[in-house]
């Protein structure tokens, strides 16, 4: 019962703030998180209105980046080249999977392309190149709560904090909110492998 009230309150807040939050001056991740919360509630409570709300939000967020490869920017209001966060990429994949599973839409082809392209490029699979990239800025000795020991190597498997379009990119590195969100999306992807593979397999090399 308490859980239901909590979700209803959260959904109501989402709906009240939709006009303000789902606009190009907001962080894209704000929109994806709002849609995700509403969708979680809609499925748990079998609430058709909330499901329709989540499904209306998704096409808006989808058009803020590249729906072809699955790149979604951190800030949708900047018209020039900018970076994403793996958080947005992962959230959009999770939304597409859950909306498709709930029968609100059919986004399996999006999931297929986004996983093979942007999402796959966002994961750090090799570390040897990282230390070869020039890094402007001042150096300092590691503080008591920092380390410089095999940092890149120890982060293999993590997800990029500021990826470019279909590229890991190394300008600032990793913020591990992205690793958390992306590994959660990985769980959803693996759990829906058959549905994803049963769809489009022709865009594997989109880059």
The least distance separating Zn ion from the CB of residue 34, rounded to whole angstroms, comes to: 16
Query: Is residue 27 a contact point for Zn ion (CB under 5 A)?
Result: no
Residue 186: its H or E element: helix 177-191
Query: Is residue 112 a contact point for Zn ion (CB under 5 A)?
Result: no
Specify the residue, 183 or 200, whose C-beta has the smaller distance to Zn ion: 183
CA 157 to chain centroid: 16
Query: Is residue 87 a contact point for Zn ion (CB under 5 A)?
Result: yes
Among 68, 177, 203, 206, binds Zn ion (CB under 5 A): 177
Question: For 19, which DSSP code?
Answer: H
The least distance separating Zn ion from the CB of residue 175, rounded to whole angstroms, comes to: 5
Residue 50's contacts (CB-CB under 8 Å, 6 or more residues apart) are 11, 38, 39, 41, 42
Query: Is residue 152 a contact point for Zn ion (CB under 5 A)?
Result: no
* Secondary structure (3-state) at 167: strand
Give how many residues touch Zn ion by CB under 5 A.
Answer: 4
157 vs 119: CA distance, rounded Å: 12
**Contact string 47-86 vs Zn ion (x = CB under 5 A):** --------------------------------------x-
Query: Is residue 15 a contact point for Zn ion (CB under 5 A)?
Result: no
136 vs 171: CA distance, rounded Å: 9
Positions touching Zn ion (CB under 5 A) are 85, 87, 177-178
């Amino acid at each position: 019962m308490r859980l239901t009230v909590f979700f209803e309150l959260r959904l109501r807040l989402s709906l009240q703030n939709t006009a303000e939050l789902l606009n190009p001056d907001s962080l894209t991740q704000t929109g994806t998180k709002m849609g995700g919360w509403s969708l979680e509630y809609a499925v748990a409570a079998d609430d058709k209105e909330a499901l329709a709300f989540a499904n209306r939000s998704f096409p808006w967020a989808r058009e803020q980046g590249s729906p072809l490869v699955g790149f979604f920017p951190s800030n949708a209001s900047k018209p020039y080249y900018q970076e994403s966060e793996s958080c947005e990429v992962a959230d959009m994949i999770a939304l597409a999977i859950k909306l498709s599973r709930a029968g609100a839409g059919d986004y399996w082809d999006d999931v297929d392309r986004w996983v093979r392209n942007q999402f796959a490029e966002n994961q750090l699979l090799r570390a040897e190149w990282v230390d070869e990239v020039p890094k402007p800025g001042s150096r300092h000795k590691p503080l008591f709560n920092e380390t410089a020991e095999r940092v890149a190597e120890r982060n293999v498997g993590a997800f990029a904090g500021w990826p470019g379009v279909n590229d890991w990119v190394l300008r600032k590195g990793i913020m591990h909110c992205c690793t958390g969100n992306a590994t959660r999306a990985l769980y959803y992807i693996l759990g829906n492998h058959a549905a994803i593979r049963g769809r489009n397999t022709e865009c594997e090399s989109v880059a």
